[in-house]
Amino acid sequence: MVKVKLNRKKFKVEKGSRIRDFVKDKKAIAALMNGELCDLSKEITSDCELELIDFSSDIGKKIYWHSASHVMAMAVKSLFPKAKYAIGPAIDQGFYYDFDTKKPFSPENLGKIEKKMVEIVTQDIPFERITMKKEAVIEFFNRREEPYKVELVKDIPAPDVSLYRNNDFIDLCLGPHIPSTGYIKAFKLLSIAGAYWRGDVDQPMLSRIYGIAFPDKKELNDYLKRLEEAKQRDHRKLGTELELYSIFEEAGSGLVYWHPKGALLKRLIEEYWLQEHIDAGYQIVSTPHIARAHLWHQSGHYDFYREHMFILPLENEDYILKPMNCPGHILIYKSKVRSYKDLPLKYAELGQVYRNELSGTLHGLLRVRGITIDDGHIFCQPNQIVEELCEVLKLTLKILKKFGFNHYKIDLSVRGQHDKEKYLGSDEKWERAEQGLIKALNKMRLDYTKEEGEAVFYGPKIDIKLLDALGREWQATTIQFDFNLPKRFKIEYMDRDGQHKEVVAIHRAIYGSLERFIGCLIEHYKGAFPLWLSPVQIVVMSITSKQSKYADKVLKRLLKRKLRVELNDKSEKINYRIREAEVQKVPYIIIVGKREVENNTVSVRKHGKGDIGVMKLKDFLNITKTELGGDDQTNSKSK
């Protein structure tokens, strides 16, 4: 007999029993045994502590969706025996599987695959874990003519390889998985896309099928409704409709061309950022777009990041389009000797950087090659860490609130306790930095999730993920320590005792990527931006040409208040022009006709609400003043 602890209860089971033999929770799909993930079919051979996993947890969803991808692959292989299967992971929302087929899958194929999946689910086929020697697995997949699996197995360093079997279907996999296919209660195949093998454009183009699965139909239906809403909010669709930006293939993938309205939107965001940073004590700097490769060798980026760099040969040496702003800020800091009296020293820059992202990963504004990063670097003493982190968090929350983000998720990424050799810096530095982050978060009374082993190799960090109107997560703010660059560049300050001390360097970006932030804003507001952020705030239109003179008078009064106004005096009927302004999601429409001219009033429509009444222009101006936070300067900072 062996001892088991489960749900705070301790009991004994026969050695060799499987977890599923005594688990009564029908929602359980996997388990943690002494902290390690395992299947419910796992044998218990010694005393252990168990924690059951169900779909409600993040890891449970990953296991469930990964299992669903296997079910989909079983269906595909059954219907298309000559298809070669590659990889089929769980992703943030659902799963996908890549296949090599002579002809790409069509939308009509999805219905057939779903029907076959229903059969497989109904059969309730067990997921069985098997382990084989690496050489035997290579031989097995070679016999089955599965070249992608052979390639994956060859990259595995371990001598033993795990696989999962569902009847005749066998896939290379670490697991764990749900107990059987019958656990997949509700699913939907969503779309088809092309994807290069391993994201390499020189490799074969595969056919990728995306899907989603849930333990019940209600969750699936709710998800599909949200998905449909997300499609309506897609920033790529709205970006075109609202004439905000374009990405021209003839100019290059991942490079954003901002149209007048989009450029104005971007400028409003930048000006607000600039004023808030000046008020918070940051000094604004600007660094060149290129620098000698030597600088990137010194920083270490060349060795770790070279494949993502654009390298330019010039005058018998290489120059690099900067992929980040950090080294430039450090050079400015090192331009003269700094005293402890100068610290903290805070630099900020809306810097344009360039990264050679794989073409298959580019996605509208969310993943681009030309990136505007709102970088800030704080150079301080060890005893200033907590105070400066609190100031960064205060500024971050203030800025996010201004843009309508009141809900967010905070992750604290720290070292893994069992692989400290992977990280730069002494234990003392890591302890000081991690405790600084924790103290700052606690002082600000912010809830966070501690992520062991998720720190970058050069320091711990805080990540703030925005939750948009649909509850989706968007990576935005990052606050992180750097133990790498201070040592490589010998960044120091003169202490009060005359000794040179290594400075503490804190990186932080509040928007993160400005392009991604704007993509998030578009989807969050469904393109209907708040008044202060709208490129066009008001459209004035007269019903007939007879009221044009009065409409022009209204326009000039609005412009005098520094509101962003357009006059639509086209010859089309008024209903057509109103609809045009509504499609463009202009916050306010002012209509003037014969009655308005006679009474010296305006008729006002608000986007999303319709007609809000006839009023004096001064009353309308008071409405805009209130909506803009008591200031009719549209680019004013948050009050």
- Cβ-contact 67, 173 below 8 angstroms: no
> Is the pLDDT at 293 greater than 50, yes or no?
yes
Q: For residue range 16-35, list pLDDT tens digits in order.
A: 999 999 888 889 999 999 99
Q: For residue range 43-102, list pLDDT tens digits in order.
A: 999 999 999 999 999 999 999 999 999 999 999 999 999 999 999 999 988 999 999 999
Give the pLDDT of residue 416. Answer: 78
Q: Which pair of tokens denotes residue 330?
A: 């450090």
The answer to whether position 635 is within a domain reads no
Mean pLDDT of 153-171: 95
> Is the pLDDT at 637 greater than 60, yes or no?
no
Same domain, 261 and 359: yes
Nearest-10 Cα torsion for 478, 479, 482, 486: 120
Q: What is the mean pLDDT of the chain?
A: 93
Give the pLDDT of residue 636. Answer: 35
Share above pLDDT 70 across residues of the chain, in percent, rounded to a whole number: 98
Q: For residue range 71-83, list pLDDT tens digits in order.
A: 999 999 999 999 9
> Is the pLDDT at 434 greater than 70, yes or no?
yes
Confidence category of residue 639, pLDDT binned at 50, 70, 90: very low
Q: How many CB atoms lie within 10 A of CB 401?
A: 11
Q: Tell me whether the omega of the peptide bond preceding residue 215 falls within 30 degrees of 0, making it cis.
A: no
Nearest-10 Cα torsion for 38, 43, 44, 50: 30
Please tell me the distance from the alpha carbon of residue 228 to that of residue 224, in angstroms, as a whole number. Answer: 6
> Is the pLDDT at 388 greater than 80, yes or no?
yes
Residue of 639 and 209 predicted with greater confidence? 209
Side-chain half-sphere exposure of 218, counting CA atoms within 13 A = 0
Q: Which pair of tokens denotes residue 217?
A: 């139909």
H-helix or E-strand spanning residue 140: helix 134-143
The answer to whether position 421 is within a domain reads yes
E strand segments, 198-295: 205-214, 245-246, 257-258, 283-284, 290-292
The answer to whether position 438 is within a domain reads yes
Confidence category of residue 634, pLDDT binned at 50, 70, 90: very low
Same domain, 504 and 544: no
Give the pLDDT of residue 284. Answer: 98
Give the pLDDT of residue 632. Answer: 40
The answer to whether position 230 is within a domain reads no
The answer to whether position 37 is within a domain reads yes
Same domain, 22 and 63: no
Please tell me the distance from the alpha carbon of residue 541 to that of residue 589, in angstroms, as a whole number. Answer: 8
Angle at 390 between CA 507 and CA 446, to 5 degrees: 105
Give the pLDDT of residue 499. Answer: 94
Q: For residue range 119-149, list pLDDT tens digits in order.
A: 999 999 999 999 999 999 999 999 999 999 9
For the chain, the C-alpha Rg in angstroms (whole number) is 29
Sign of CA dihedral 344, 350, 354, 359: positive
> Is the pLDDT at 473 greater than 90, yes or no?
no
Angle between helices 427-443 and 385-402 (to 10 degrees): 50
Same domain, 358 and 315: yes
Same domain, 309 and 368: yes
| 3-state SS, residue 37 | strand
Give the pLDDT of residue 456. Answer: 81
The total domain count for the chain is: 4
Give the pLDDT of residue 599. Answer: 96
Same domain, 70 and 36: no
Confidence category of residue 105, pLDDT binned at 50, 70, 90: very high
Same domain, 63 and 37: no
The CA–CA distances, whole Å, from 307 to 195, 230, 301, 353, 464 equal: 20, 33, 10, 15, 27
Which CATH number do you get for residue 33?
A: 3.10.20.30
Give the pLDDT of residue 301. Answer: 85
Same domain, 520 and 560: no
Q: Which pair of tokens denotes residue 260?
A: 């007048």
Same domain, 186 and 259: no
The residue with tokens 């929302």 is 93
Mean pLDDT of 365-369: 93
Which CATH number do you get for residue 97?
A: 3.30.980.10
Side-chain half-sphere exposure of 359, counting CA atoms within 13 A = 13
Confidence category of residue 315, pLDDT binned at 50, 70, 90: confident
The answer to whether position 145 is within a domain reads yes
> Is the pLDDT at 532 greater than 90, yes or no?
yes
| 3-state SS, residue 193 | strand
Q: What is the DSSP string of 273-289?
A: HHHHHHHTTPEE----S
Share above pLDDT 90 across residues of the chain, in percent, rounded to a whole number: 82
Same domain, 36 and 117: no
The answer to whether position 316 is within a domain reads yes
Give the pLDDT of residue 630. Answer: 59
Same domain, 406 and 487: yes
> Is the pLDDT at 633 greater than 50, yes or no?
no
> Is the pLDDT at 638 greater than 70, yes or no?
no
For the chain, how far is it from start to end, CA to CA, in angstroms?
68
Domain ends where: 525, 544, 563? 525
Mean pLDDT of 440-461: 89
Which CATH number do you get for residue 446?
A: 3.30.930.10
The answer to whether position 639 is within a domain reads no
Q: How many CB atoms lie within 10 A of CB 293?
A: 20
> Is the pLDDT at 472 greater than 80, yes or no?
yes
Please tell me the distance from the alpha carbon of residue 237 to that of residue 256, in angstroms, as a whole number. Answer: 15
Give the pLDDT of residue 122. Answer: 97
Give the pLDDT of residue 63. Answer: 97
Which CATH number do you get for residue 601?
A: 3.40.50.800
Q: For residue range 545-583, list pLDDT tens digits in order.
A: 999 999 999 999 999 999 999 999 998 999 999 999 999
Same domain, 412 and 435: yes
Q: Which domain holds residue 177?
A: 58-220
Q: What is the DSSP string of 350-401?
A: EEEEE----GGG-BTTTB-SEEEEEEEEEEE-GGGHHHHHHHHHHHHHHHHH
| 3-state SS, residue 30 | strand
